[in-house]
């Protein structure tokens, strides 16, 4: 089952959505977005853990 993470659950107002086959894939995409769009130089461990907790199974349409 595909995995999904909504950036708005971390950053109010951001509508970016990350999807992947694995949680690690979703985390990598979200981390890259955080660096490029939200200008974080590094992703702190506590933020990465929170991102990991917020990943869900994507429901079929």
The residue among 33, 37, 21, 30 whose CA lies nearest residue 52 is: 30
For residues 6, 10, 14, 17, the Cα torsion angle rounded to the nearest 10 degrees is -20
Contact between 35 and 47 (Cβ < 8 Å): no
Q: Strand 3-6 vs strand 17-20: parallel, antiparallel, or unpaired?
A: antiparallel
Question: pTM score, two decimals?
Answer: 0.88
Q: With cut-offs at 50, 70 and 90, classify the pLDDT of residue 9.
A: very high
pLDDT of 58: 94
Q: Residue 61 above 90 pLDDT?
A: no
Domain locations in the chain as residue ranges: 3-57
Pick from 4, 2, 6, 22: nearest CA to 14: 6
Q: Which pLDDT belongs to residue 19?
A: 97
| pLDDT tens digits, 27-52 | 999 999 999 999 999 999 999 999 99
* pLDDT score recorded for residue 47: 92
């Amino acid at each position: 089952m595909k995995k999904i993470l909504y950036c708005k659950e971390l950053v109010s107002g951001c509508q970016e959505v990350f999807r992947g086959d694995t949680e690690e894939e979703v985390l990598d995409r979200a981390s890259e977005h955080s660096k490029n769009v939200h200008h974080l130089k590094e992703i702190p461990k506590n933020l990465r853990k929170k991102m990991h907790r917020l990943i869900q199974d994507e429901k079929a349409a």
